[in-house]
Structure 1
Amino acid sequence: MRRDDYVSGMYFLSLYVLAAVVQSIVIFQIDFQIYQLSSFSQWILVLAAVLLVGFAVVLKYFHHKGFRAVFILGIISMAGQLLQLTSFYVAFLLPIKELAPFYPPLTVLSLALAFVYGLGLIFSSAGKNYWLKVSGIFTLIATGLAACLLIWSWVEQPNPLSPELIKFNHWVTLVSSLLPVPLIVLFYKELSMLVRSKETSVRSKVSESFFALGAIALLLILILGINLATESYGVTHVSERTKAIAEPFETRRFVNEDGDTLLYRLLLPKYYDPGKRYPMVICLHGGAGWGTDNIRQFDGSLFARLLANTANREKFAAFVFVPQCPPGSSWGNLPDLPAIDSLVFESIEALEAEFSIDQSRLYVVGHSLGGYGTWNFIGKHPEKFAAAIPVAGEGDLKQAENMLEVPIWAFHGANDRNVPVSGSRDMIAAIRKAGGNPRYTESPHGGHSWDIVTDTPGVLDWLFAQKRE
């Protein structure tokens, strides 16, 4: 091993630790919403590349010292982690939802391989080195915590993740980000011994490539780190514009008999008369609205913004119901996230008992996460809704026959990278095949935005013209 090898190993492992800690801090701030940030997909690839390069130097060290067992176990463990990361990236960030079922077993496999690797560091000949043994112990602790997190999340399903579990996930992520620290110390010790022995090292072309790669990696980490921090700031801080939009809405909460709580905002018709009946629009927000502050949902709900508009309040007298989905939960149709749809339906029934709501004119609308929920709502309870507008969502094809009597106007952008356009295309095709006649508008150049709705005239006029027989 050359001096440059130890320097490269320390550099890339330290860069990984620094970046992983930054990521952990962001997760502490915004929980699962980090996966919704546009820069996260690039960030995770760079982070994985930095770790891979750093661990390649570790493997070279194992080979150099003759630690054959941990050399082989290290290769196998890294392969397991790469498989897990690839399945996560493909299934949840591209996303190709058909591959989502592969992620849990690959996670279990990755943890098992990491556990065996940790045992190898402790009980093989490598364990005679103090810092390698510490690295093995640290690996076992981190793997054990991750396994506990996995089991806990399975036990809690299909309920929304508890605050305690979410907090535990934060700390497990932080602990895991520190895994390379003993190896960094080891390389520092080895480098110090080389310096004291006054051994010389001729810089090779490979070493020069490593330093050039290190400079590129640092630049990417800085750029993407700034983007990640900026986007997370936007998630954690509510803009004055959003506060102004939320102002006319009443701040409310619903608690069912089991103690489950739903935070929501409610806008009454501008000239509300209890002697008359009014339609109600259920606005399901997208991923930008996840939270527990009962205000951020307006960042992810186009329709709540539109219906709060003064002109629209005058034109369309209606109740506007805007619930907030807690982090780690969904409105339905997302198998990896527990749904709170039944809690929403209970709260709707409570509102119908409290206010003069026209039950023949209940409308459900939503974008992204809310688009998934919109399909789910009319798939499970089509008898309740007079119309639905799912935007950039995806439904359960097996529920298509349930939706034949519900007027639907779906929207999607052909270039949507968050939710593939096939999500809407397949649902529309399935409903039409079953005998339904849904409307569908697709933007040939649109992405994962709601511009397609605002650019289409007459959407709200169509919505409020619908009435259930």
Structure 2
Amino acid sequence: MSTKLDSKNIYNFANFLIGLFIVLSLVQIIVEALAGYRFYLFSPYYEPWIILLTIVTIAVMLVLLWYFRTKNYRIAFIAFLISSVTSLAFTLMAYLALSDRDLQKSVPWAFVILLCTGIIYSVSLFTSKTRHKRWLFWVGAIGFSLELILLVLQLWALNTDNAAVPIIIGKVLLWILVLINFNMIFYILNFKEELDLLKSEAKTEPSNLFTGIRVGLGIVSLFAVLIVLNVATSEYAWEKGKVARSKLMVGDFEAKIYVNAQNDTLLYRLQLPKDYDSNKEYPLVVNLHNGGGVGTDNLIQLDATTTAQLLSTAENREKYPAFIFLPQSPTNNGFGGISDDPGVSGLVFEAMDQLEKEYNIDDKRRYVVGMSTGGYGAWYFIGVKPEKFAAAIPICGGGDPKMAAKMTHIPIWAFHGKTDKSVPVHLTQNMIKAIRKAGGSPKYTEFSAGHLIWDKVQSTPGYLDWLFAQKRPD
């Protein structure tokens, strides 16, 4: 079979791959817009989806590299090879960063590098020999314009102190990515033009190999798209329902505000013990919300503070009378323990002191419970203020082992999921090992699960009895 006859099959296969890539990339953008990080961190379908997308991407890259090499477009070949390697390296880095907070800081700058290599490739298309191919010329010209806009916006987001700017730019970026995705259609038009040039050649039989791959990839992709779109819409509905769910949980949780001498403000909710008697002392349970409670509405932390929900049931209010304190963090840095940012931890401690002036709180029975972002906070609280707490329950959070020596006298029961992608399990394991090495005796329960382990924690026998049995010695 001649090279020209083989080329017909390859050009047809290339158009199938590029069309499939466009569809999958658009679905990926939709998933990003609807579900965001929750799809990547919590869905069991994330890895298979990324594998499928990566396989199709690599196949498209190989076909284009074959085309540039066959046509002797050396500059475009080299530029695209560099851009392809950078793209695959960025994909790997972004995946690893999901479970590595330190690596997450480098991802935005890696994206800048990716855009720069993409711009170089785009320039090669409308300045080298490929400029004589009209559709490749437009791939380069339009791609260059869009990637340059992306680069400017990304650099702006990285160098501004205005917290609102990155959020707005992030939404704009998605639309530009859609346009870049549609720019791939010009590749299809280019290969169609190549096929038209081969029409005069003898007919060739369709390749059984390419046909089989098309059918297999098509079926797998169809099921994958339906699954991930279903997951994304479910996550979107969950996110949009936070306010409504929180309003249903308000009950006796009163909205309060603490303002210190420097005019720093902490929003929080407080539930008093049932039938509060000012002549009796009651424990205080500090509930630190997960990332879903971040905001400034003094409401949605109710939906993101699962222990508080459990303690506020009629049965548990009767069994464990206590003050339930729910501070709200306005940023993802939460309550400390993430990077070097203390978050709103200082304000929480000040608000606790203020509450003890207003109510009869037992200073020997202050407890802190937190999950995810709040889990980081729970570890941080007992590290920087060990004298304040009688017990702590950090759930799927991370701490600093250097603080372990300060925690040896505090009863701790930590929980984590073995396959947690959001907060790697070794962060809790390292804390437990460090505290035990320093002389402490923390309890630790590890589940065969991912990040969302609240139902398993809630069903753990005796964990609330254990919490309320703890008391600081005189």
TM over 0.5: yes
Name which of structure 1's ranges 423-432 and 115-124 shifts more when overlaid on structure 2.
115-124
Cα distance in 2 for partners of 1:206, 1:280 equals 68
Confirm or deny that 1:69 pairs with 2:70: no
Confirm or deny that 1:312 pairs with 2:316: yes
Aligned mate of 1:216, from 217, 220, 225: 220
Match of 2:60 in 1: 54
Is the alpha carbon distance of 1:386 and 1:336 closer, same or farther for their aligned partners in structure 2, counting shifts above 3 Å?
closer
Displacement after TM superposition at 1:303 (Å): 0.6
Confirm or deny that 1:188 pairs with 2:189: yes
**Which letter does structure 2 place at the counterpart of 1:311?**
E
SS at match of 2:183: helix
Displacement after TM superposition at 1:67 (Å): 1.9
Name which of structure 1's ranges 417-426 and 427-436 shifts more when overlaid on structure 2.
417-426
Name which of structure 1's ranges 205-214 and 143-152 shifts more when overlaid on structure 2.
143-152
Match of 1:282 in 2: 286
Aligned mate of 1:90, from 92, 96, 116: 96
Deviation sequence 1:413-448 (CA, Å, 0-9, x none): 4454543432222111101112222222334x4543
Is the alpha carbon distance of 1:146 and 1:383 closer, same or farther for their aligned partners in structure 2, counting shifts above 3 Å?
farther
Name which of structure 1's ranges 124-133 and 366-375 shifts more when overlaid on structure 2.
124-133
CA RMSD of the aligned region, Å?
Answer: 3.6
Please tell me whether the aligned partners of residues 25 and 181 of structure 2 are also in contact (alpha carbons under 8 angstroms).
no
Deviation sequence 1:82-135 (CA, Å, 0-9, x none): 11211221231xx35676576466444433322322332343232444443443
Match of 1:35 in 2: 40
Displacement after TM superposition at 1:23 (Å): 3.9
Match of 2:377 in 1: 373
Name which of structure 1's ranges 77-86 and 367-376 shifts more when overlaid on structure 2.
367-376
The correspondence of residues 336-415 of structure 1 with structure 2, limited to 5 A, is 339-342=343-346, 344-345=348-349, 347-348=351-352, 351-352=355-356, 355-415=359-419
Name which of structure 1's ranges 207-216 and 320-329 shifts more when overlaid on structure 2.
320-329
Identity %: 38
Cα distance in 2 for partners of 1:188, 1:72 equals 22
Aligned mate of 1:116, from 108, 114, 120: 120
Cα distance in 2 for partners of 1:64, 1:372 equals 55
Please tell me whether the aligned partners of residues 334 and 372 of structure 1 are also in contact (alpha carbons under 8 angstroms).
yes
Contiguous gaps of at least 5 residues in structure 2 = none
**Which letter does structure 2 place at the counterpart of 1:222?**
L
SS at match of 1:180: helix
Please tell me whether the aligned partners of residues 369 and 378 of structure 2 are also in contact (alpha carbons under 8 angstroms).
yes
SS at match of 1:178: helix
Displacement after TM superposition at 1:407 (Å): 2.3
Is the alpha carbon distance of 1:146 and 1:205 closer, same or farther for their aligned partners in structure 2, counting shifts above 3 Å?
same
Confirm or deny that 1:440 pairs with 2:444: yes
Cα distance in 2 for partners of 1:374, 1:416 equals 18
**Which letter does structure 2 place at the counterpart of 1:297?**
Q
Match of 1:247 in 2: 251
Is the alpha carbon distance of 1:217 and 1:255 closer, same or farther for their aligned partners in structure 2, counting shifts above 3 Å?
farther
Displacement after TM superposition at 1:242 (Å): 5.7
Name which of structure 1's ranges 257-266 and 359-368 shifts more when overlaid on structure 2.
257-266
Paired residue total? 463
Match of 1:167 in 2: 168
- Please identify the structure whose Cα radius of gyration is greater: 2
Deviation sequence 1:352-404 (CA, Å, 0-9, x none): 56555444433211223322221122223323322210122221112222323
Displacement after TM superposition at 1:346 (Å): 5.1
SS at match of 1:406: coil
Aligned mate of 1:464, from 454, 468, 473: 468
Cα distance in 2 for partners of 1:214, 1:374 equals 48
Contiguous gaps of at least 5 residues in structure 1 = none
Displacement after TM superposition at 1:206 (Å): 4.1
Match of 2:205 in 1: 202
Name which of structure 1's ranges 103-112 and 408-417 shifts more when overlaid on structure 2.
103-112
Please tell me whether the aligned partners of residues 142 and 172 of structure 1 are also in contact (alpha carbons under 8 angstroms).
no
Match of 2:307 in 1: 303
Is the alpha carbon distance of 1:345 and 1:53 closer, same or farther for their aligned partners in structure 2, counting shifts above 3 Å?
farther
Match of 1:333 in 2: 337
Displacement after TM superposition at 1:274 (Å): 4.9
Cα distance in 2 for partners of 1:120, 1:354 equals 70
Cα distance in 1 for partners of 2:62, 2:260 equals 54
Cα distance in 2 for partners of 1:155, 1:345 equals 32
Please tell me whether the aligned partners of residues 410 and 440 of structure 1 are also in contact (alpha carbons under 8 angstroms).
yes
Name which of structure 1's ranges 328-337 and 67-76 shifts more when overlaid on structure 2.
328-337
Is the alpha carbon distance of 1:276 and 1:241 closer, same or farther for their aligned partners in structure 2, counting shifts above 3 Å?
same
Confirm or deny that 1:24 pairs with 2:29: yes
Cα distance in 1 for partners of 2:237, 2:179 equals 24
Deviation sequence 1:300-347 (CA, Å, 0-9, x none): 432112111111112222221223445754444344999454454455
Please tell me whether the aligned partners of residues 21 and 174 of structure 1 are also in contact (alpha carbons under 8 angstroms).
no
Deviation sequence 1:128-184 (CA, Å, 0-9, x none): 444434433444444445545554555468xxx823321211221331243232231
Please tell me whether the aligned partners of residues 34 and 232 of structure 1 are also in contact (alpha carbons under 8 angstroms).
no
Displacement after TM superposition at 1:269 (Å): 2.0
**Which letter does structure 2 place at the counterpart of 1:13?**
I
If the length of structure 2 is used for normalisation, what is the TM-score? 0.82
If the length of structure 1 is used for normalisation, what is the TM-score? 0.83
Match of 2:18 in 1: 13
Name which of structure 1's ranges 129-138 and 82-91 shifts more when overlaid on structure 2.
129-138
Please tell me whether the aligned partners of residues 6 and 188 of structure 1 are also in contact (alpha carbons under 8 angstroms).
no
Cα distance in 1 for partners of 2:105, 2:166 equals 22
